[in-house]
Each structure stands twice: as C-alpha cells, then as structure tokens.
Amino acid sequence: MRIFRELFKVYVREFRLVIKDPGLIIFFLFLPLAYPVIYSLIYNPELVRDVAVVVVDNDRSSISRELVRNFNATQEAWVKGYAADLAEARRAMNEHKCYGILEIPEGFGKRIANNEQGEAVLYCEMSLLLRYRSLLVASTNVAQAIGAEILTEKIDLVAPLAETVADGDLMPIKNITMGNIEGGFDSFIMPGVLILILHQCIILASGMAGGAKRERKGLIGYDSFNEQPSVLMTMLGQMLCYITILMVPIIYLVHYVPLMFSFPMAGNLFEILMFLTPMVLACVGLGWCFQGIVWERESVFVLWVVTSVIFLFLSGLTWPRYAMSGFWKAASDCVPATWGIEGFIKMNTNGATLAQVRSCYINLWILAGAYMVGAYCVQRWVVRPSVLKGFNSYERVKSESI
C-alpha cells in the first residue's frame, strides 16, 4: 500500500505541475487539438480543379487544336485563352491570370505525321504544388490518349481488320490508389502528419517539464521537487499522469480528425490505440532524455525548430526510406515517429491489423525500452541532482530572508 500511496502522490504532484504551467498545457492539449485542424484546412479541398492555362499555339494544325480541346476537356485544366507568343503568356502568369502555359512548337503536327515524336512544353507556376500536380496529370493523360489514337490509326492502315481487335488504348493503365480513392494530397500526407504532431508534442512537453522543474518556486507557484528517493517511482507516476492527459488528444487525433476531414478510416480504433501505446512511451522516454539538456522551459523551442524538420524527413513522408543512405536510414530507425507513421498508415489507411504491422510494433517496444533506460540514467544522475541543488539553494535563500 505504501508503494501505491507514493505513486499516487507523484501522480498528483505532476498533475498539479502540468495544470499550473501554461507551456505544458499548450504542448499537451492545445497543439494536438489545434494543429491537425490548421494543417488539414490548408489542403482542403484536396484536389484542384480547372487550373487556368494559357495556350501558345505556334503550329496551328488540326492535331494541335485537338490537343488543346482534349486538354481543356479534362477536369484538372481550363484553357482560359490563347496568347500570341510566350512573352505575352508569361505576362499573364505574372499577373496571376493563369497558372500554366501550354506551348505547342511550330512543326508539331508535321513531325507526328512523319511518325516522329512531337513535343509540347508545359510551364507551371509553382506557388502551389497542387496546381502543378493537376496540370501534370492532365497533360500526361491527354498525351497518352492522343498517342493511343494515333497508334490505332497506324495499325489500321497496315492491317485494316486490326481495328476490330485494337481500338483505343492498346495498353490501358488504371491507377487505383489504395486507401486514397480520390488521390488527394490531404489524405496522403495528413495521416502521417497526425502521428508526427503527436510525437513532437509529447517529446517537447515532457522536455519542457524538465525545464519547469529547475525553475524557482516563485516563478511557477509550485515546487516540483519530488522528496521521494525512488527515481523509478517518480518516472512511473509522471508517465501515468502524461498518459491520462494524452488520452483525449490521442483519440481526437486518430479518430475524430480523420472523421471531420473524411480521411481514410479503415482500421480498428482499439488496435490503433494499442499500436500507439509503445510510441507514446518511447516519446515520453525521449523527452525525459532531452531533460538533461533543457535547463529552461524556453530551451525546448530550439528543439522544436531543429527536430521537427529532421524528424519529418526521417519519417519517410517526404522522402522514401529505401532511398536514404545507410546512415540516415539507421537514424530514422531510432525515431519513434518513423515506425508510428508507417504502422498507423497501414492500419488506418489500408486496414491492416495489429498482427500485420508486427515489425513496426516490435520496433516501437524496443525503442520504448531503450529510451526508458536512457531516461532513467538521465533522471538519476543529471536531472535529480540539479533539481535537488536548486531546491536546497532556494530553501537556503528563503531561510536567510526570514
């Protein structure tokens, strides 16, 4: 019973510390609740339709006019008009009257008639990558469709009866994106970003708690020093406190945010929460390791700027892990968000079970154990002596003033 009383005492003490510290409230509650909505609204709607395009047709042939008609018929592009030359089209783009330029060179139709490759140039304004993606998809689909029609006509000239066999696209390609039917950018990147937001908030909140413990009592109105001699008991009480506070943000991130923005939701919520448990523990342990270098609460913002960009690239969201060098791949293996993102996307987007993401689950438990051991060493030989030193100096100054 004494152990449970000590554990409950630490739990209550840490809970009071979090409630009294606005910085911890921001990282534990406000950022997980607000950031996903802000990021999701930026890319909502997910697809860009009817991107304005100006055409520079230097060929003025039947095939060039067919190319423009088909390009305008796509749902991604809208041919706003023609320009006399490329300079006029660039002025229209600089004035934001259009976001793309389709230039058809002179001799385009003649080269195609001579069985040569005809090339049209597409210029895109890169202020929004979603517009570039839409124009690229439209131009690629139109080029494939026209190429298939020309190939069918050539085959028909050689063998007239082949028209009954080969009509239209000879090798049709259907792209079915699993878990992202619409092919939207938001549904592609936001499930991973949700886990990365949770990852960063936990690490930085637990790291900021180390800075709060070193603050003088008069600054935060609460003495965070734990009189109990057991470092392990202190860590266990703090961990239970953090998990209690994080239950609402975690469920909100993995269930209600995808529900609000119609993200893929093919996984089982209970299994997803089980999968995220070791990631949360690993993040708390990593945050406790950071307490060894966070001597003030404000220092954690430096870690936010540095680690957010690094962890984003190492997670594999913006650059695939198989294309990384051995060093960076090994570094990404040490980041809990890497395995958390990979497993969560497989479960929530593609409907995988916990058994099917077994490798990610095991790696998260390994990281959780490793970071907890490291956190114990940091807390035992770095954080506790420094907090005790500050506590004793504060008591000495208080007694002298009395």
Q: What is the pLDDT of residues 375-384, one digit of tens each?
A: 999 888 887 7
Mean pLDDT of the chain: 82
DSSP string, 22-39: HHHHIIIIIHHHHHHHHH
Q: Whole-structure pTM over 0.85, yes or no?
A: no
Tell me what the mean pLDDT of segment 395-399 comes to. 47
13-25 residue pLDDT tens: 888 878 888 888 8
* Residue where the block lists tokens 């991107």: 51
Q: How confident is the model at residue 101 (pLDDT cuts 50, 70, 90)?
A: very high
CA-CA distance, 159 to 124, in Å (whole number)? 41
Q: How confident is the model at residue 219 (pLDDT cuts 50, 70, 90)?
A: very low
pLDDT above 80 (res 85): yes
Q: How confident is the model at residue 221 (pLDDT cuts 50, 70, 90)?
A: very low
Task: Note the pLDDT of residue 172.
Answer: 59
Please report, for residues 231, 350, 392, the alpha-carbon distance to residue 385 in angstroms, rounded to integers and kept in the order given: 11, 48, 10
Task: Note the pLDDT of residue 123.
Answer: 93
Please tell me which residue, 189 or 197, carries the higher pLDDT value: 197
* Residue where the block lists tokens 């890319």: 43
Tell me what the mean pLDDT of segment 379-398 comes to. 62
Task: Note the pLDDT of residue 42.
Answer: 76
Q: How confident is the model at residue 355 (pLDDT cuts 50, 70, 90)?
A: very high
pLDDT above 80 (res 46): no
Q: Among residues of the chain, what percentage have pLDDT more than 90? A: 37
285-326 residue pLDDT tens: 998 988 888 777 777 777 777 778 888 888 888 888 888 998
pLDDT above 80 (res 242): yes
Q: How confident is the model at residue 127 (pLDDT cuts 50, 70, 90)?
A: confident
CB atoms within 10 A of CB 131: 20
Tell me what the mean pLDDT of segment 96-123 comes to. 88
- Specify whether the CB–CB gap between 279 and 163 falls below 8 A: no
Task: Note the pLDDT of residue 3.
Answer: 80
pLDDT above 80 (res 182): no
CA-CA distance, 142 to 115, in Å (whole number)? 18
pLDDT above 90 (res 77): yes
Please tell me which residue, 229 or 271, carries the higher pLDDT value: 271
Q: How confident is the model at residue 389 (pLDDT cuts 50, 70, 90)?
A: low
pLDDT above 50 (res 222): no
363-377 residue pLDDT tens: 999 999 999 999 999
The contacts of residue 135 (CB under 8 Å, 6+ apart) are 51, 53, 76, 77, 99, 100, 122, 124
> Which is nearest to 385 in space by CA: 215, 237, 214, 253?
214
Q: How confident is the model at residue 109 (pLDDT cuts 50, 70, 90)?
A: confident
pLDDT above 70 (res 213): no
Q: Which residue type, as a one-letter code, is found at position 155?
A: I
